[in-house]
């Protein structure tokens, strides 16, 4: 099954026949052959029921896991050919992650957390890089929270901080696994708005797993995973479904 649109730009994520099976006590096939292409600057929502394989796909696209079969090209590089350290470097420089929980380091301040990917890469941060990151934090309303620890900030502020951390190394792709799932609707909307703005302003491709059909409707494309297979959802149909469900409600 292929779900692609006309490439507007350079393709940053490309999978071909991607299969994933977990070999535990029993063999559990999760992804059955996924072919997707995502271009730079696209905002793609991945929807699907719990256990359908959304997170597995996101982990593979984020080079945190490897496929059992098929190929995954991230920024043109086949991740199966990379060593563990090369995969780490790819995650550091090409990919950014936003999780349902912010997973900021409690020991570090908001600014230090955001600078962590840069420090992991080079051990130090230039003045320009620090200024750029501070500007991003100010842009998302965290100018007053730079030196605060995560445990003194609200859930929404922490998640915004996590988004800027994902963007700190100027990646080509940001993978977001239910980034608003743990927030109230107001904070969730704010976080989504910021992600969308960052996507438009910086030309970073966003791939967001979500259960929220309303947010998915705001994406450029919607991919649905069902029983390990992926297909593209027509946004108009999705809108109609959404309106109907709102009417029923």
Partner 1 sequence: MKVLSLVPPKWRFETTLALRHLITGGGQTLLTIGAVAAGVIVIIFLTALIFGIRLKLTNMLTESIPHVTVRVRETEPVPLSELQDLGSAMSSSRIEKQAPQLKFIDDWQHVVDVIRTIPNVRVVLPAIQGQGFASKGANPIGVTITGADPEEQDQVSPVTKDLIAGKYIGLASDEVVIDYELAKDLAVSVGDRIRVNSSAGNSESMTVAGIYSRGQGRGGAYVTLRTAQSLFGMGNSVNVVLVKVNDLFGSDKVADQIQNLVPYEARSWSREYPSFVSSLIVQSASAYLISAFSLIASSFAIASVLIVSVLRKSKQIGILKSIGATRSQILRVFTLEGIGIAVAGSVCGAAIGTLIVYLISLPVQSTARPGHAPDQLFPVAILPVYIFGAMISAIFATLVASWFPAQQAAKMNPVDVMR
Interface residues with partner 1 (CB under 8 A)? 55, 59, 62, 64-65, 84-85, 88-89, 91-93, 96-97, 99, 103, 105-108, 116-117, 119-124, 165-166, 169
When the beta carbons of 117 and 179 are compared against partner 1, the nearer one is: 117
Nearest-approach distance from CB 120 to partner 1, in angstroms: 5
Handedness of CA 7, 11, 12, 14 (dihedral sign): positive
When the beta carbons of 11 and 58 are compared against partner 1, the nearer one is: 58
Nearest-approach distance from CB 87 to partner 1, in angstroms: 9
Q: What is the DSSP string of 137-196?
A: HHHTT-TT-TT--GGGS-HHHHHHHHHHHHHTT--SEEEEESTTTTS-HHHHHHHHHHHH
Nearest-approach distance from CB 119 to partner 1, in angstroms: 4
Q: Which phi and psi angles does 172 have, rounded to 5°?
A: -95, -25
Nearest-approach distance from CB 56 to partner 1, in angstroms: 9
Nearest-approach distance from CB 220 to partner 1, in angstroms: 25
When the beta carbons of 96 and 179 are compared against partner 1, the nearer one is: 96
When the beta carbons of 28 and 245 are compared against partner 1, the nearer one is: 28
Residue 175 pairs in a beta bridge with 97, 207
The tokens 């600078």 sit on which residue? 115
User: Please, what is the end-to-end C-alpha distance for the chain in angstroms?
Assistant: 33
Nearest-approach distance from CB 42 to partner 1, in angstroms: 22
Strand 11-23 relative to strand 27-39, pairing = antiparallel
When the beta carbons of 86 and 144 are compared against partner 1, the nearer one is: 86
Helices 155-167 and 185-202, axial angle in degrees (round to 10)? 20
When the beta carbons of 168 and 224 are compared against partner 1, the nearer one is: 168
Nearest-approach distance from CB 99 to partner 1, in angstroms: 7
> Which tokens go with 33?
């052959």
Q: Which phi and psi angles does 190 have, rounded to 5°?
A: -60, -45
Q: Cα separation of 249 and 244, whole Å?
A: 8
When the beta carbons of 63 and 191 are compared against partner 1, the nearer one is: 63
183 contact partners, CB below 8 Å, separation of at least 6: 155, 156, 159, 191
């Amino acid at each position: 099954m292929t779900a692609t649109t006309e490439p507007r730009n350079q393709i940053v994520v490309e999978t071909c026949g991607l299969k994933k099976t977990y070999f535990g006590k029993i063999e559990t096939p999760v992804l059955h052959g996924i072919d997707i292409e995502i271009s730079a600057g696209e905002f793609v929502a991945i929807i699907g029921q719990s256990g359908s394989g959304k997170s597995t796909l996101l982990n593979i696209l984020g080079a945190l896991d490897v496929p059992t079969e098929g190929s995954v090209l991230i920024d043109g590089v086949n991740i199966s050919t990379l060593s563990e350290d090369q995969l780490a470097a790819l995650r550091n420089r090409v990919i950014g992650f936003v999780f349902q929980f912010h997973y900021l380091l409690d020991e570090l301040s908001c600014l230090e957390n955001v600078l962590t990917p840069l420090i992991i890469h080079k051990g130090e941060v230039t003045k320009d890089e620090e200024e750029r990151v501070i500007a991003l934090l100010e842009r998302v309303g965290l100018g007053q929270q730079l030196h605060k620890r995560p445990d003194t900030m609200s859930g929404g502020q922490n998640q915004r901080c996590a988004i800027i951390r994902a963007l700190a190394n100027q990646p080509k792709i940001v993978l977001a696994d239910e980034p608003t799932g743990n927030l109230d609707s107001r904070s969730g909307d704010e976080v989504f708005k910021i992600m969308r703005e960052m996507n438009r302003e910086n030309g970073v491709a966003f791939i967001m797993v979500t259960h929220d059909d309303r947010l998915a409707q705001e994406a450029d494309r919607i991919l649905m995973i069902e029983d390990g297979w992926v297909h593209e959802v027509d946004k108009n149909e999705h809108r109609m479904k959404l309106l109907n469900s709102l009417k029923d409600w």
